Amino acid sequence: MARPRTQDPDELFALAREGDRLALARMLSIVERGGDPARAVGRLVHAHAGAVATVGITGAPGAGKSTLTSALIAQMRADDERVAVLAIDPSSPFTGGAILGDRVRMGDHATDDGVFIRSMATRGHLGGLALATPEAVRVLGAVGFPWIVIETVGVGQVEVEVAGATDTRVVVLNPGWGDAVQANKAGLMEIADVFVINKADRPGVSEAVRDVEQMLELGADRAWRPPVLTTVGTTGAGVTELWGAIRDHREAARASGELADRTAARQADELHRIVAERLLARARELGGGPRFDELLGAVAQRRLDPWSAADQLLGGEA
């Protein structure tokens, strides 16, 4: 298949819906870069984006998230579910595929038309990831992937937010003491719907399970109590149960209304962010003028603190 030369959103979308993976990849690149071309793609797919199920897989670097994701995909494919993966983890072999060829275990799924894997850059414009991810999810939904797995490293502020903005949130820990404590500090315990102790062929599994259970005891009562599963990503042990837990959570969340609540909260959050992004563009305009330079000079000379400078710059505007 020849690489599509077109950058026209309508043509790319038509090609992508026919299964052209390069056209799909190009649409996602446009979304990732942001700006007016991304808006054109967004307007186009919005009406076609069906109901998708999103699964967030997060945890510290080295927790084995990518291997586990690959094993999970195999389970999903065994049930004939089409699935796309967005990898937002600089330590993921998916993200690093181009450089770390031999580490790309996703090669297992490379020839499967029912699987699409894409890395998203964690750098770029402020708030870029938080805005580009829901748009990318809509693109994937509109071209026919009802399941979307979002793999993020659960360490940074933006990355935890992105992982949190999914229907079912899987937090991956490893055996031994302390991992659950770190996850708690990173804000992962409160977003988890399913816990996985991966690499469960190593010592310390029962301690890790106990740590998580104790934290769950201390936490707020929720209608859904997150199960604590054990898996070995490299062998696939426990991954059937993980896939079952994801579907169970989805069903329970649908029945309780939690799924609808989360969808509504995500839509409101996204609209807030977009309004903010539009205002930021205005801020960048203000940041280019002579008045900005004048006030910046006053800050540099310590005649003015930066918040007072901002207030003077904005005047009655905000």
Residues near its own copies (CB under 8 A): 39, 42-43, 46-47, 49, 60-62, 90-91, 95-96, 99-100, 122-123, 126-127, 129, 153, 155-160, 178, 181-182, 185-187, 263-264, 267-268, 270-272, 274-284, 286-287, 292, 295-296, 299-300, 302, 304-311, 313-314, 318
Nearest-approach distance from CB 142 to its own copies, in angstroms: 11
Edge-to-edge, what's the strand order for the sheet holding 147-153?
115-119, 83-88, 147-153, 53-59, 168-173, 194-197, 228-230
Which is closer to its own copies, CB of 27 or CB of 242? 27
* Residue number, 14 or 318, with CB nearest to its own copies: 318
Residues 6+ apart with CB under 8 A from 72: 57, 149, 239, 242, 243, 246
Q: Which is nearer to its own copies, 11 or 285 (CB)?
A: 285
At its nearest, how many Å lie between its own copies and the CB of residue 114?
Answer: 25
Other C-beta atoms closer than 10 Å to the C-beta of 204 total 17
Q: Least distance to its own copies from the beta carbon of 5, Å?
A: 26
Backbone angles phi, psi at 44, to 5 degrees: -65, -50
**SS3 category, 290:** helix
When the beta carbons of 150 and 242 are compared against its own copies, the nearer one is 150
Residue type present at position 188 = L
Contact 23, 15 (CB under 8 A): yes
CB of 273 to its own copies, least distance (A): 8
Q: In the 3-class helix/strand/coil scheme, how is 66-109 assigned residue by residue?
A: HHHHHHHHHHHHHCCCCEEEEEECCCCCCCCCCCCHHHCHHHHH
* Residue (126 or 223) nearer to its own copies, CB: 126
Least Å distance between CB 239 and its own copies?
25
